[in-house]
Amino acid sequence: MEISEKIRSIPDFPKKGILFRDITPLLQDATSFSKAVNLIADHYQIKRVDLLVSAEARGFILGGAIAYRLGVGFVPVRKPGKLPYKIKSATYDLEYGKDTLQIHQDALKKGDKVLIFDDLLATGGTAKAICELVEGLGGKIIGVCFLIELTSLKGREGLKGYEVFSLIKY
């Protein structure tokens, strides 16, 4: 079975006109979940990754597993008010609004080689904000990867200059 068969499409969520790609069925199926994690991790196995950085909430689920599979540390990027220590923030545009992400100021060291993971590439705003946070702390981004890419929204264009990898494209 293909991993893409485990992605459910839900129209008009979270608001009218949005086609939401629900990864819950993939997460519920141990074989598909494992296959997705392994395929993404295998793509980066030969790179020298120090840390995997991922945004909440769905990004944490696969991101943590990918970091474990690569044998590297995991750095959470969260919404405002969720991190308990000194933070750095970035505000960005979503396909349906604006949002802010934060990272601990000591989350990585200058020169750390960072792999960024998120479950979905839509307009690219979230990923670009994470790149800004990582580079603002001195990290070197070796790749930006996604489970799903919505190609019609052209999010990849906002990530020029970075290696972008997505497992599933719609």
Please say if 78 is a catalytic residue: no
Encoding tokens for residue 25? 């069925």
- Whether the Cβ atoms of residue 52 and residue 67 lie closer than 8 Å to each other: yes
Q: Which of 56, 78, 95, 132 is catalytic?
A: 95
**Token digits of residue 89:** 């923030």
Taken in order 56, 60, 62, 68, the sign of the CA dihedral is: positive
User: Could you confirm whether 69 is annotated as catalytic?
Assistant: no
Residue 51 CB partners (closer than 8 Å, separation 6+): 67, 72, 73, 74, 75, 107, 108, 112, 113, 114, 115, 139
Find the catalytic residue in 58, 69, 132, 163.
Answer: 58
Active site residues: 58, 95
